[in-house]
């Protein structure tokens, strides 16, 4: 064997050994929080038991649909697992408790990323935002001799303001109307009923709640007025357990890509800026 032939054989052997080392090397293990979901084969999504269209509702086929459902299904698909919606919580605060107790992996359920909730769980960057609003009884507002703007009507000791128990509305109402009586209800339908019947001066909500009520009760415009409140919007985030740091990073990156390709804008256009989704209602 000539010297040059020996060199070529030695080089070929070295390249073969290097390739074997590279391709034979074990793939790096996934972070524990991602590996846990992969091993289970499913992503558990914590949600409230009530329906809150257009974020989640039952369509004509009696299946869950809506903005949050679309988002959750894509997250599960990108993680290569099936999705399971765990609708056990009676309030939005109970949704947070489900994440703390690890009865679900993430919460994607029209959940406001408030500071109090952030003490218990980690939130992703906001994926959607809605304008703050109030429903005001026109008759009570008309008889009030405290000025014509909604703030002077609602921020008064005699004003009674309805909020959904365990929701961010309770926090916003207490901050915006400290002089008023804040009354908690189990269901939004009970609040709107009492506003219309003059048992409440008003109710704190957002543009979605106000728009839905007006659509479902066109005759109610005589008794109830929806006002978009000034101030910052209510931002919605996905909640994860405080120890699931890599899952949080992955979700944030997912939302960044969704915003970059226009998907989040399309979700807002489909579900919030128009009513096309209502064609899928029973």
pLDDT digit of tens for each residue in the chain (282 aa)?
A: 555 554 555 555 555 555 445 444 555 689 999 999 999 999 999 999 999 999 999 999 999 999 999 999 999 999 999 999 999 999 999 999 999 999 999 999 999 999 999 999 999 999 999 998 999 998 887 665 555 677 788 998 999 999 998 888 888 899 889 999 999 998 888 999 999 999 999 999 988 888 888 888 888 778 898 888 877 899 999 999 999 999 999 999 999 999 999 999 999 999 998 888 989 988
Predicted local confidence at residue 49, as pLDDT = 94
Distance CA 134, CA 140 (A): 14
User: With a threshold of 0.85, does the pTM exceed it?
Assistant: no
Question: What local confidence, expressed as pLDDT, does residue 38 receive?
Answer: 97
Strand segments (E) across 28-186: 42-48, 57-58, 64-65, 82-89, 106-107, 122-123, 128-130, 132-137, 160-164, 181-185
Q: What tokens does 66 get?
A: 């809506």
- Contacts with 148 (C-beta within 8 Å, 6 or more apart), sequence order: none
Domains detected in the chain: 32-129+235-280 (3.40.190.10), 132-232 (3.40.190.10)
Angle at 187 between CA 184 and CA 188, to 5 degrees: 90
Q: Is 5 exposed, middle or buried (0-12, 13-18, 19+ CB in 10 A)?
A: exposed
CB distance 96 to 117 below 8 Å: yes
Predicted confidence at residue 6, as pLDDT, reads 46
C-alpha distance from residue 276 to each of 162, 270, 272, 282 (Å): 30, 7, 9, 14
| 231 burial type by CB count under 10 A (0-12 exposed, 13-18 middle, 19+ buried) | exposed
Q: Encoding tokens for residue 67?
A: 């903005």
* Residue 228 structure tokens: 């978009």
- pLDDT computed for residue 26 by the predictor: 52
Q: Rounded to whole angstroms, what are the CA distances from 184 to 8, 180, 199, 203?
A: 82, 13, 13, 10
Phi, psi of 40 (to 5 degrees): -75, -25
Calpha distance 209→193 (Å, rounded): 13
Say if CB 260 and CB 39 are below 8 A apart.
no
**Are 132 and 226 spatial neighbours (Cβ–Cβ below 8 Å)?**
no
Question: Given this model, what pLDDT does residue 53 score?
Answer: 92
């Amino acid at each position: 064997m000539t010297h040059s032939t020996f060199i070529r054989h030695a080089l070929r052997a070295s390249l073969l050994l290097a390739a074997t080392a590279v391709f034979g090397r074990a793939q790096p293990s996934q972070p524990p929080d991602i590996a846990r979901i992969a091993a289970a084969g499913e992503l558990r999504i914590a949600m409230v038991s009530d329906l809150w269209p257009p974020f989640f509702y039952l369509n004509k086929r009696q299946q869950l649909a809506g903005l949050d459902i679309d988002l959750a299904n894509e997250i599960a698909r990108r993680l290569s697992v099936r999705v399971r919606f765990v609708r056990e919580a009676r309030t939005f605060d109970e949704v947070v408790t489900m994440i703390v107790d690890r009865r679900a992996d993430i919460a994607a359920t029209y959940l406001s990323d408030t500071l109090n909730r952030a003490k218990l769980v980690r939130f992703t960057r906001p994926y959607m935002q809605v304008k703050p609003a109030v429903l005001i009884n026109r008759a009570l507002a008309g008889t009030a001799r405290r000025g014509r703007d909604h703030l002077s009507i609602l921020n008064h000791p005699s004003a009674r303001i309805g909020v959904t128990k365990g929701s961010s509305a309770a926090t916003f109402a207490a901050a915006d109307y400290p002089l008023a009586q804040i009354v908690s209800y189990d269901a939004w339908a009970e609040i709107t009923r009492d506003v219309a019947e003059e048992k409440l001066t008003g109710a704190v909500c957002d543009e979605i709640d106000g728009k839905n009520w007006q659509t479902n009760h066109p005759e109610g415009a005589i008794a109830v007025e929806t006002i978009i409140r000034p101030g910052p919007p209510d931002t919605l985030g996905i909640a994860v357990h405080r120890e699931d740091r890599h899952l949080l990073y992955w979700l944030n990156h997912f939302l960044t890509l969704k915003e970059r390709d226009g998907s989040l804008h399309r979700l807002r256009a489909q579900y919030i800026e128009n009513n096309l989704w209502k064609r899928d209602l029973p």
